[in-house]
Amino acid sequence: MTSADMAGYAATVVGTSMMLPQLVKSWRTKHMRDMAFGMVVLFLINCALWLAYGLMIAAPPMVVASAIGFVISLALLGMTIRLHGN
Protein backbone atom coordinates (compact mmCIF):
# COMPACT_ATOMS: atom_id res chain seq x y z
CA MET A 1 0.00 0.00 0.00
CA THR A 2 1.38 3.37 -1.00
CA SER A 3 1.34 6.50 1.13
CA ALA A 4 -1.25 7.93 -1.27
CA ASP A 5 -3.48 4.90 -0.62
CA MET A 6 -3.07 5.32 3.13
CA ALA A 7 -3.96 9.01 2.89
CA GLY A 8 -7.00 8.15 0.78
CA TYR A 9 -8.23 5.53 3.24
CA ALA A 10 -7.64 7.89 6.18
CA ALA A 11 -9.60 10.64 4.41
CA THR A 12 -12.37 8.15 3.70
CA VAL A 13 -12.67 7.18 7.36
CA VAL A 14 -12.66 10.80 8.55
CA GLY A 15 -15.06 11.99 5.85
CA THR A 16 -17.47 9.17 6.51
CA SER A 17 -17.49 9.54 10.25
CA MET A 18 -17.47 13.34 10.57
CA MET A 19 -21.22 13.56 11.13
CA LEU A 20 -21.42 10.50 13.38
CA PRO A 21 -20.83 12.47 16.63
CA GLN A 22 -23.71 14.80 15.73
CA LEU A 23 -25.96 11.85 14.99
CA VAL A 24 -25.15 10.22 18.34
CA LYS A 25 -25.64 13.49 20.24
CA SER A 26 -28.94 14.19 18.53
CA TRP A 27 -30.16 10.65 19.16
CA ARG A 28 -29.33 10.92 22.86
CA THR A 29 -30.74 14.39 23.45
CA LYS A 30 -33.65 14.19 20.99
CA HIS A 31 -32.91 17.80 20.04
CA MET A 32 -31.94 19.19 16.66
CA ARG A 33 -32.13 22.91 17.44
CA ASP A 34 -28.46 23.52 16.67
CA MET A 35 -28.49 21.55 13.42
CA ALA A 36 -28.76 23.62 10.26
CA PHE A 37 -31.17 21.99 7.80
CA GLY A 38 -29.14 23.27 4.85
CA MET A 39 -25.98 21.64 6.16
CA VAL A 40 -27.73 18.29 6.48
CA VAL A 41 -29.07 18.56 2.93
CA LEU A 42 -25.64 19.53 1.58
CA PHE A 43 -24.03 16.60 3.39
CA LEU A 44 -26.65 14.28 1.88
CA ILE A 45 -26.01 15.63 -1.63
CA ASN A 46 -22.25 15.38 -1.10
CA CYS A 47 -22.50 11.73 -0.06
CA ALA A 48 -24.83 10.94 -2.97
CA LEU A 49 -22.44 12.51 -5.47
CA TRP A 50 -19.41 10.69 -4.04
CA LEU A 51 -21.39 7.44 -4.07
CA ALA A 52 -22.32 7.95 -7.73
CA TYR A 53 -18.73 8.80 -8.61
CA GLY A 54 -17.40 5.76 -6.74
CA LEU A 55 -19.84 3.52 -8.61
CA MET A 56 -18.86 5.06 -11.95
CA ILE A 57 -15.14 4.49 -11.44
CA ALA A 58 -15.66 1.13 -9.68
CA ALA A 59 -13.87 2.12 -6.46
CA PRO A 60 -15.24 -0.19 -3.74
CA PRO A 61 -13.73 1.67 -0.74
CA MET A 62 -15.26 4.93 -1.98
CA VAL A 63 -18.61 3.24 -2.59
CA VAL A 64 -18.70 1.71 0.90
CA ALA A 65 -17.63 4.92 2.62
CA SER A 66 -20.06 7.04 0.63
CA ALA A 67 -22.91 4.62 1.22
CA ILE A 68 -22.27 4.73 4.98
CA GLY A 69 -22.11 8.53 4.87
CA PHE A 70 -25.34 8.59 2.86
CA VAL A 71 -27.12 6.47 5.48
CA ILE A 72 -25.81 8.75 8.26
CA SER A 73 -27.00 11.81 6.36
CA LEU A 74 -30.43 10.25 5.78
CA ALA A 75 -30.71 9.54 9.50
CA LEU A 76 -29.74 13.13 10.31
CA LEU A 77 -32.22 14.46 7.77
CA GLY A 78 -34.99 12.33 9.24
CA MET A 79 -34.15 13.43 12.77
CA THR A 80 -33.93 17.07 11.67
CA ILE A 81 -37.40 16.90 10.15
CA ARG A 82 -38.92 14.93 13.02
CA LEU A 83 -37.27 16.76 15.94
CA HIS A 84 -36.86 20.25 14.52
CA GLY A 85 -39.26 21.82 17.00
CA ASN A 86 -37.72 20.13 20.06
User: Which of 27, 24, 26 is CA-nearest to residue 35?
Assistant: 26
The DSSP annotation for the chain comes to --HHHHHHHHHHHHHHHTTHHHHHHHHHH---TT--HHHHHHHHHHHHHHHHHHHHTT-HHHHHHHHHHHHHHHHHHHHHHHHTT-
Domain layout of the chain by residue ranges = 3-83
Residue 48 has pLDDT above 80, yes or no: yes
Domain 3-83: which CATH class? mainly alpha
Q: Mean pLDDT across the stretch 3-8?
A: 79
Q: Residues with Cβ < 8 Å from 81, sequence gap 6 or more?
A: none
Q: What is the pLDDT of residues 55-65, one digit of tens each?
A: 999 888 788 88
Lowest-confidence region among 8-17, 39-48, 67-76: 8-17
